[in-house]
Structure 1
Amino acid sequence: MSNNRSGVFIGGLMLGATIGALTGLLAAPRAGRETRKLLKKSADALPELAEDISTTVHIQADRLSASALRNWDDTLERLRIAIAAGVDATQRESGALRRQNSAESESADPLVQHLER
């Protein structure tokens, strides 16, 4: 989760720096020709900046995906263990109930057993 936040922070930082640089260029007391040169250089750097941001976002998405996959695998494994424990407990309890019913029927009144036949 913190990897995702750091990627968003880096992307925001890059975007903020670009916007700040452009604003500074427009507000700077320079001649029009110098300002246009600087704007052109900044515009030429935008594709590279966009690629850097895209790469950062892609890396962060891969990390998040891998983390989610690990969490999903851990959850599935815990679920398998819980189901196996539940099945085992059910079988033990079922056997105990059968033994109890068997013992109760053997110790029943002979007259009731004779009538049930």
Structure 2
Amino acid sequence: MNHSHQEFSGRSIVVHVSDRTEDLERATRTAISLEQAYPGVQVRIIVNGQALAGMTAFSTDLLPQNTQIGACSLGLGRLGIDPETLDAGIKILPTAPLEIAEAQFNGASYIRL
């Protein structure tokens, strides 16, 4: 699909990563594809569960321009990961499920990896 003639500003997509650390790389590739297919779209990668273990080595420099990434603080605590050790560009979220629900209430599309 080529949507290059359309502008998708004001629309958002949540990419949810929770199971495997390898899915962080997959989420980055997905965000790149989404931004290419839907110019102007805002992509939010929300990470919780076991995938949080990969956040300690994650660099937000790899993300495309309109993509943000957030990590669930409850999950980080359960895994014993200090949020201060994460890349400064990673937003610390109070709880991933509430962030996802709020985004969907506000019209975001949802993709689970």
Q: TM-score range by the shorter chain?
A: under 0.3
Q: Which one has the bigger strand percentage? A: 2
TM-score normalised per structure 1? 0.24
Q: Which one has the bigger helix percentage? A: 1
| Greater RCO, 1 or 2 (C-alpha within 8 Å, sep 6+) | 1
